[in-house]
């Protein structure tokens, strides 16, 4: 345990010296192993799917704005669906919710097989939006389940493992997915993605999640709405609002829920630019060029949390680390703009930038899991995703408009890096003092 789990405060004596290793966690905790296994297979298919969509849109339209639309369909529906998804994760059986999400997504991705020309672009956007909207229910449920299936000394390790898995699957999926799309075409990739969701559902079905005892209000059990559909809607909206009120009442939780959004101010547009840089650096490589830089991104997001777990054992330092990571990511991306067409330098800097972003992601997730009460945890993570995805969406739209209007990719990257670095410094001068003050009063 990191601190006083679920009480919305920071423990002055928090440290991680009792954390188990990755191998020991997978050997001894079958439920984490099954959840991890489902994550491995579904993410592998997802990254193949993502590269296939990028290639399909670029081939059909050649437009930066159309490509930005794909990025938005990977984010905006997630933001819009997150508040409802958080309520579902707090009110329904979280394991069944994840299984249902996997089955529905398996059916949705097969719809991409019907996108054949530029006139079908609307269908691609609709399907991609639906896929991500369903994913909005899966993610907070998974994050909320993890503290329930881990024991003392396992939570940070489990989070670092899942983050590293996301990163490794990004690296492997991007490195292998690019050539796979070029060799076999997009249809094969979409069939593969559907199959991985089915495997994930089968593995998660075997995860044993302890039942949640309902509190006095009935939360934690099944919905108790009265008054038919109207009553259910009113109750759902009330639960969403109550989740936001909880974040206001627990500033130690609310502050950390802003960490991912802080990085996303520039990060959303920078990841969009990454796809365009890949085409520029490797002009004759097709999708493989994009895959190389996305693999570098995956390598960075995998290495960062692993190094952070070894270097920052005291959780009291994490709020400062979160802000420093945003600044470090911005500096590395500024280096990408300066490096120009020097491939090895660009790849190395992308690794560094996302080692920082991955550290921000995992440490903030672990802090939220530790500080938030179980009955609010789904809504806390839904809000966490809502903020991050909304900010990323704005960043992507802005970047797409600038690129479409003729502003150079290097100039856009420098501008985004400057903005991201600024908000990272703002975090350091506002959030870090608030955390220290909270430690002093024992909040």
Q: Is the CB of residue 180 less than 8 Å from the CB of residue 189?
A: yes
Token pair recorded at residue 245: 């009120």
Alpha-carbon distance 177 to 291, whole Å? 7
DSSP state of 19: P
The pLDDT profile of the chain, 443 residues, written as one tens digit per residue, is 444 444 444 443 344 445 778 888 888 899 999 999 988 888 877 777 777 777 778 777 777 677 777 777 776 777 777 777 777 888 888 899 999 999 999 999 899 888 887 777 888 888 988 888 888 788 888 888 888 898 888 887 888 888 778 777 767 776 676 677 777 777 888 888 889 899 999 999 999 888 765 544 444 444 444 444 344 445 556 666 777 788 888 999 999 999 999 999 999 889 888 877 876 777 665 566 677 887 888 888 878 888 887 888 788 889 999 999 999 999 999 999 998 878 889 999 999 999 999 999 889 988 998 898 888 887 888 788 788 888 988 898 898 889 888 888 889 999 999 999 999 999 999 999 999 888 775 54
Q: Where are the alpha helices (DSSP H) in 312-373?
A: 318-339, 343-371
Closest listed residue to residue 314, CA positions, set 255, 367, 259: 367
Q: Are 169 and 298 in contact (CB under 8 A)?
A: yes
Alpha-carbon distance of 136 to 144, in angstroms, equals 13
Rounded Cα–Cα distance for residues 399 and 393 (Å): 10
137 with 101: CB under 8 angstroms?
Answer: yes
Closest by Cα among 250, 312, 252 to 432: 252
Sorted by sequence, the CB contacts under 8 Å of residue 409 that are 6+ apart come out as 273, 276, 277, 280, 403
- In angstroms, the CA 19 to CA 16 distance is 5
Dist. CA 321–CA 435, nearest whole Å = 12
3-state secondary structure of 381: helix
The per-residue pLDDT for 443 is 46
What are the structural domain ranges in the chain? Answer: 22-441
> Could you tell me which residues come within 8 angstroms of residue 105 by beta carbon, excluding any fewer than 6 positions away?
131, 134, 135, 197
Structure tokens at 268: 């959303």
* Tokens representing residue 352 in the block: 């560094």
Rg of the chain's alpha carbons, rounded to an integer? 21
pLDDT of residue 219: 46
Residue whose entry in the numeric block shows the structure tokens 């470090």: 328
Q: Which two tokens stand for residue 363?
A: 């440490």
> Residue 40, CB half-sphere, CA atoms under 13 Å: how many?
9
- Cα–Cα distance between 326 and 354 in angstroms, integer? 10
Fold of 22-441: Growth Hormone; Chain: A; (1.20.1250)
Both structure tokens of 32: 């984490």
Look at residue 231 in the predicted model and tell me its pLDDT. 46
pLDDT at 239: 67
Task: Please provide the DSSP assignment of 204-246 as one string.
Answer: HTT---PPPPP-TT-TTSS----SHHHHHHHHHHHHHHHHHHH
pTM as predicted: 0.66
d(CA 208, CA 216): 25
Return d(Cα 55, Cα 335) in angstroms, integer. 27
Token pair, residue 95, equals 């394991």
Q: How many CB atoms lie within 10 A of CB 9?
A: 20
């Amino acid at each position: 345990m990191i601190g006083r789990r679920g009480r919305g405060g920071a423990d002055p004596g928090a440290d991680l010296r009792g954390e188990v290793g990755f191998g020991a966690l997978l050997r001894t905790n079958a439920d984490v192993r099954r959840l991890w296994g489902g994550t491995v297979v579904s993410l592998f298919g997802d990254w193949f799917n993502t590269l296939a969509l990028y290639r399909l849109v670029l081939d059909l339209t050649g437009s930066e704005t159309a490509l930005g639309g794909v990025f938005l369909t990977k984010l905006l529906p997630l933001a819009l669906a997150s508040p409802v998804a958080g309520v579902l994760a707090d009110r329904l059986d979280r394991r069944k919710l994840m299984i249902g999400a996997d089955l529905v997504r398996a059916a949705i991705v097969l719809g991409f097989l019907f996108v054949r020309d530029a006139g079908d672009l609307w269908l691609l956007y609709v399907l991609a939006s639906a896929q991500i909207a369903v994913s909005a229910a899966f993610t907070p449920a998974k994050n909320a389940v993890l503290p329930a299936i881990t024991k003392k000394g396992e939570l940070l390790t489990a989070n670092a493992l899942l983050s590293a898995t996301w990163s490794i699957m990004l690296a492997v999926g991007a490195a292998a997915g690019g050539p796979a799309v070029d060799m076999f075409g997009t249809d094969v990739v979409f069939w593969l993605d559907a199959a991985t969701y089915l495997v994930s559902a089968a593995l998660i079905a075997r995860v044993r999640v302890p039942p949640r005892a309902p509190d006095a209000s009935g939360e934690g059990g099944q919905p108790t709405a009265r008054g038919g559909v109207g009553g259910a809607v009113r109750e759902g909206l009330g639960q969403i609002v109550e989740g936001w009120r909880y974040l206001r009442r627990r500033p130690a939780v609310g502050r950390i829920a802003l960490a991912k959004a802080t990085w996303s101010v520039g990060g959303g547009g920078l990841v969009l630019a990454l796809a365009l840089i890949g085409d520029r650096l490797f002009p004759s490589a097709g999708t493989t060029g994009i895959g190389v830089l996305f693999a570098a991104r995956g390598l960075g997001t995998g290495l960062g949390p692993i190094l952070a777990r070894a270097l920052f054992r005291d959780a009291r330092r994490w709020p400062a680390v979160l802000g420093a990571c945003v600044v470090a990511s911005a500096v590395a991306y500024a280096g990408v703009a300066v490096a120009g067409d020097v491939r090895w330098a660009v790849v190395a800097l992308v690794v560094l930038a996302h080692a920082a972003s991955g550290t921000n992601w995992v440490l903030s997730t672990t802090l939220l899991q530790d500080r938030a009460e179980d009955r609010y945890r789904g809504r806390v993570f839904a809000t966490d995703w809502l903020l991050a995805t909304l900010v990323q969406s704005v960043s992507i739209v802005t970047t797409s408009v600038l690129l479409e209007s003729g502003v150079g990719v290097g100039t856009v990257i420098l501008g985004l890096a400057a903005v991201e670095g600024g908000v990272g410094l703002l975090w350091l001068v506002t959030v870090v003092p608030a955390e220290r003050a909270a430690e002093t009063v024992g909040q």
